[in-house]
Structure 1
Amino acid sequence: MRSQTLPDDQDAEGSQDKNPDGGYGWAVVIGAFLMVVTSYGTSTAWGVMQDYYEREMFGDTIPDAQLQLSFVGTFALIFANACGPLAQVLRSMWGTRFVLLIGTFLIAIGLIIAGFSNQIWHLYLTQGILFGTGVSLMYVTIMAVAPQYFDRKRGLALGIVASGSGIGGLVMPFIMTPLNRSLGAGWTYRVVGFVCLGCDLLACLLVKDRFKLPKQRKSLSEIIRLDVFKDKNFCIWSLGACVQMLGYYIPYFFLPSYATWVGLSPSEGSSLVAVSSAVNFAGRIVAGILADRFGLVNINSLFLMISGLSTLLIWTFAYDFGTLMAFSVIFGFFCGSYFSLGKYIVAPALLPFYLVELQPANARAILRISVSPITLNILGMERFPSGLSLVLITNIISVFGPNISSAIDGSAGAEPFFAHKMFAGVAFILGSLIMLWLKFSMNRKLFAKV
């Protein structure tokens, strides 16, 4: 595919030679990093706000408050995942800066208005829909721009941006908890909203395309091709990706509430999420290193099994801070392998942009470094963008894991949070077994590197 944004007489090798491999690109990385820290940090820290609302506002007045509140984080994740194609279409029509500004104001308005919420459904509209949509528009667009400035250091640059999720998950709980305690949830949301507004406006100023985009509207049919479901291994992988992610968000959403239920302070509950987020980032890096040596599917299955066992055998019997911290560290380290082996750093909806904006050699470099190796191994280069987009769409089912476990917990009549522990643990173990199925479907040898 020829580039539509580079001169016609410039071949792939020449374009790489003239790529600054940094330069102003580091300013783009800073802007993208700030956006990821604030936005995804806020999403990860929803458990802190859920615990506050359950204890201070809705727990005594609404019988199923925990279940209803869990949908706030779910809606935010749904819209953060689902609006990637929308961001791509808007960017193709009106350009990068327009989409970034729209996303910035949706994030800020969603959080600031959430500070005035006095009903749970208000939070669905504000943090759920407005904030989630803004996060998707910002993240998808920013991650389409950053790789334009890098060749050899592209993996480093995108890794720095992606690390903002772990850093944000570490920092935001320590900001929200004291604000909740001293000012209440309303002012916590307003303060966080203005922090996001400042960081995201700076990102809008710093992030700009290196190559001018052609103004042409793209249709969804150009992004998603359903014929990839004819591949048996892809269907197994889609099922495995969906099942393993059903349990991922449950500890992050409910550990603060569980901590206060067993008698710990809100600050101790927040620290559990913060520490888990920090080691989660380290675990993703280690998973990538081990996968290069032992195989992508093999390592993903192993990490999933350890995550499930830690949930069933540690969290189930954790009633003090030390045991809960041990669970947070072990679970956090192993639970994120999907994001380094199965998911992506660059959102899949952006890949058609890359294949248009860059020469073929550069496009292949992005696919090797920045996106899901498992999907690429199964489908190959041609069908890869559609396949990864569809994996993302099926993952929308997974974000209902916290809601399903809350519904079971409310009707089972067992000890509080028991259903959350069992549901998360079983989801991880079942996901591990499905990945083993995929391994033997791709290669029947027991010790094959798959």
Structure 2
Amino acid sequence: MQSKEHGSIAISDSPPDPPAPPRTDDGAAKEIDGQENHPEEGLTIQRPKEDAFAWLQVLGAFCLNLNTWGLMNAFGVFQTFYQLDFLRSYSASSIAWIGSTQAFLLFLVSLAAGPIFDRGHLKPLLCVGSVLLVLGTFLTSIGSQYWHVFLAQAAMTGLGFGCLYLPAPAVVSQYFHESIALANGVASTGSAVGGVIFPIVFTRMQLQIGFPWAVRVLGFILLGTSIVVVAVMKRKTPPPAASRSLVDRSAFRDVPYILLNLGLFFGFMGLYVVFNYIQLLALSRTDVSPALADYLLVIINASSLPGRLVPTYYADKIGSVNVQTAVALASAVLTFSLIAARTAPAVVAVSVLFGFAAGAFMGLPAAAVVALSADKSKIGTRLGMTLAFVGVGVLISNPVAGAILGSDGNWVGLLAWAGALLAASSVSMAASRVVKVGFGLTRVL
């Protein structure tokens, strides 16, 4: 830079410095025209444009949720069929290990899928997961013994779930900011749609063409939706230059994040007890007809559809953790109320309300983790950590419930177990909120 002296005035030949980024009165970041300015750090972060291509990613995530959570939420019809027919020589607890292992692998494999996604390997995750899912389903159709079904439906399909689930919220979170909870909620409705379609298809087809071809029909549905997923889904942000570990160590010092994980751990444990046993419960201790009992799981999953949309819309305004705390408490109350439900109208009414609350609970974890994660580049890793931790609870919950049920049908004990878990979930998430933002009821988190 050169300058010339004119009397007491110095004139510079260099261009003037750019204007300072806007600041709030307290020096914090200020948002203008889709940008987030951090003057104290010299950073400007471009907000994602929530355009048509972004919503195309929601379509892909919808199909992923249909193929993973939707099929997993339908396991209750398999539990009933296996226990009353195909694997009737095995206990309820033994059969429950198939569904719980499947769910556990969805959560556990997500621990590895998170860093893999963060490193930019989305397509390999989608392709490998889709092959495992479809192949595992077709192999289930030719199983004739317990261990055949366990290896195909629990192990292989579960591994496919683990590769496929995490990309759904992780990709959507890259394309949305203002409407992130709503976008993830819309995507998560795939779980509800799958939870409606798969039980109906399996029940109808099993009666008409038998178990093997009924399962193959499910396999063809999964194949078609997997093609859509691979075709449309794409990362938005480039992978970081530095490699990521399987674990974000800073998370172990993040108390609100830890408490949220505890809440999700207890919550999913409790929810899946009801999902897996509602049909057997109705057949064993209520006056619900067998025809209606076949559709109780469908009713729960159908009711979860508005539950994934309405609460997630408000979660963008009042906070994901706040809403999730409330629906966990509602789920606990409804689970305890099943103890007193003995008539068909009562069971159906509780199932509808429970499905709504459960849908909201299952649709919000990703947005809650994002809300508690300061470093957005580690969202994939943190989601993977959360899912792996939750998976341990899902693995043991239904077999424990089956052991509580026993051969004498201790349904009160089973429902008390599930209700207590959901109550503990609500308390843990409320504690997470208090630690993060305090006791103020109007504070968004």
> Per the shorter chain, which TM-score range?
0.7 to 0.9
Selected match of 1:48 from 77, 81, 84: 77
> Is 1:322 aligned to 2:318, yes or no?
no
TM-superposed deviation, 1:125: 1.4
TM-superposed deviation, 1:191: 1.4
Selected match of 2:332 from 292, 308, 323: 308
Selected match of 1:239 from 258, 262, 279: 262
Q: Point out the more displaced range, 160-169 or 134-143.
A: 134-143
Contact residue 140 and residue 152 of structure 2 kept, 8 A = yes
TM-superposed deviation, 1:389: 3.8
Contact residue 47 and residue 253 of structure 1 kept, 8 A = yes
Structure holding more strand per residue:
2
Aligned equivalents of 1:149, 1:232: Cα separation in 2:
28
**What amino acid is aligned across from residue 403 of structure 2 in structure 1?**
A
TM-superposed deviation, 1:112: 0.7
Aligned equivalents of 2:167, 2:185: Cα separation in 1:
16
Alpha-carbon distance change, 86 to 106 in structure 1, aligned in 2, over 3 angstroms? same
Q: Which residue of 2 aligns with 1:355?
A: none
CA offsets per residue over residues 58-95 of structure 1, 9 Å max, x none?
Answer: 22x23x2x111111111111111122243356567894
Alpha-carbon distance change, 139 to 429 in structure 1, aligned in 2, over 3 angstroms? closer
Aligned equivalents of 1:148, 1:440: Cα separation in 2:
28
Aligned equivalents of 2:255, 2:427: Cα separation in 1:
16
**What amino acid is aligned across from residue 352 of structure 2 in structure 1?**
V
Structure holding more helix per residue:
1
**What amino acid is aligned across from residue 372 of structure 2 in structure 1?**
T
Alpha-carbon distance change, 133 to 205 in structure 1, aligned in 2, over 3 angstroms? same
Contact residue 21 and residue 150 of structure 1 kept, 8 A = no
Contact residue 185 and residue 312 of structure 2 kept, 8 A = no
CA offsets per residue over residues 288-315 of structure 1, 9 Å max, x none?
Answer: 45556666555433322222122112x1
CA offsets per residue over residues 154-201 of structure 1, 9 Å max, x none?
Answer: 666544322211111122211111112222322221111122112212
Aligned equivalents of 1:440, 1:274: Cα separation in 2:
36
Aligned equivalents of 1:157, 1:295: Cα separation in 2:
14
**What amino acid is aligned across from residue 293 of structure 2 in structure 1?**
G
Q: Which residue of 2 aligns with 1:404?
A: 400
**What amino acid is aligned across from residue 43 of structure 1 in structure 2?**
M
Aligned equivalents of 2:171, 2:57: Cα separation in 1:
8
Aligned equivalents of 2:310, 2:241: Cα separation in 1:
41
Q: Which residue of 1 aligns with 2:63?
A: 34
Contact residue 304 and residue 358 of structure 2 kept, 8 A = yes
Selected match of 2:427 from 413, 430, 433: 433
Alpha-carbon distance change, 445 to 316 in structure 1, aligned in 2, over 3 angstroms? same
Contact residue 114 and residue 382 of structure 2 kept, 8 A = no
Aligned equivalents of 2:208, 2:170: Cα separation in 1:
40
Aligned equivalents of 1:20, 1:83: Cα separation in 2:
30
> Is 1:77 aligned to 2:107, yes or no?
no
Q: Which residue of 2 aligns with 1:338?
A: 361
**What amino acid is aligned across from residue 52 of structure 2 in structure 1?**
G
Contact residue 52 and residue 180 of structure 1 kept, 8 A = no
CA offsets per residue over residues 14-49 of structure 1, 9 Å max, x none?
Answer: x95xx68224x5555444433432332211111011
Aligned equivalents of 2:70, 2:411: Cα separation in 1:
24
Aligned equivalents of 1:298, 1:152: Cα separation in 2:
17
Aligned equivalents of 1:209, 1:293: Cα separation in 2:
26
**What amino acid is aligned across from residue 426 of structure 2 in structure 1?**
S
Q: Which residue of 2 aligns with 1:365?
A: none
Contact residue 52 and residue 185 of structure 1 kept, 8 A = no
Aligned equivalents of 1:231, 1:216: Cα separation in 2:
25
Q: Is the partner of 2:342 in helix, strand or coil? A: coil
Q: Which residue of 1 aligns with 2:38?
A: none
Alpha-carbon distance change, 443 to 137 in structure 1, aligned in 2, over 3 angstroms? closer
Q: Which residue of 2 aligns with 1:119?
A: 145
Aligned equivalents of 1:144, 1:290: Cα separation in 2:
21
Q: Is the partner of 1:372 in helix, strand or coil? A: helix
Q: Which residue of 2 aligns with 1:280?
A: 304
Superposition pairs for residues 99-118 of structure 1, below 5 Å? 99-118=125-144
Measured on the aligned residues, the alpha-carbon RMSD in Å equals 3.5
Superposition pairs for residues 101-250 of structure 1, below 5 Å? 101-141=127-167, 143-145=169-171, 158-209=184-235, 218-219=243-244, 221=245, 223-250=246-273
Aligned equivalents of 1:73, 1:208: Cα separation in 2:
30
Aligned equivalents of 2:342, 2:251: Cα separation in 1:
46
Q: Which residue of 2 aligns with 1:395?
A: 390
Number of corresponding residues: 400
Q: Is the partner of 1:83 in helix, strand or coil? A: helix
Q: Which residue of 1 aligns with 2:293?
A: 269
Aligned equivalents of 1:120, 1:326: Cα separation in 2:
35
**What amino acid is aligned across from residue 416 of structure 2 in structure 1?**
M
Unaligned 5+ residue runs, structure 2? 1-43
Alpha-carbon distance change, 84 to 231 in structure 1, aligned in 2, over 3 angstroms? closer
Q: Is the partner of 2:142 in helix, strand or coil? A: coil
Aligned equivalents of 1:391, 1:147: Cα separation in 2:
16
Alpha-carbon distance change, 281 to 90 in structure 1, aligned in 2, over 3 angstroms? same
Unaligned 5+ residue runs, structure 1? 1-10, 345-369
> Is 1:417 aligned to 2:411, yes or no?
yes
Aligned equivalents of 1:296, 1:91: Cα separation in 2:
24
Q: Is the partner of 2:421 in helix, strand or coil? A: helix
Alpha-carbon distance change, 133 to 216 in structure 1, aligned in 2, over 3 angstroms? farther
**What amino acid is aligned across from residue 42 of structure 1 in structure 2?**
L
Alpha-carbon distance change, 195 to 299 in structure 1, aligned in 2, over 3 angstroms? closer
Alpha-carbon distance change, 56 to 98 in structure 1, aligned in 2, over 3 angstroms? same
TM-superposed deviation, 1:432: 2.4
Aligned equivalents of 2:225, 2:80: Cα separation in 1:
26
Alpha-carbon distance change, 433 to 216 in structure 1, aligned in 2, over 3 angstroms? closer
TM-superposed deviation, 1:56: 1.0
Larger Rg over CA atoms: 2
Aligned equivalents of 1:384, 1:207: Cα separation in 2:
18
Q: Is the partner of 2:406 in helix, strand or coil? A: helix
**What amino acid is aligned across from residue 224 of structure 1 in structure 2?**
V
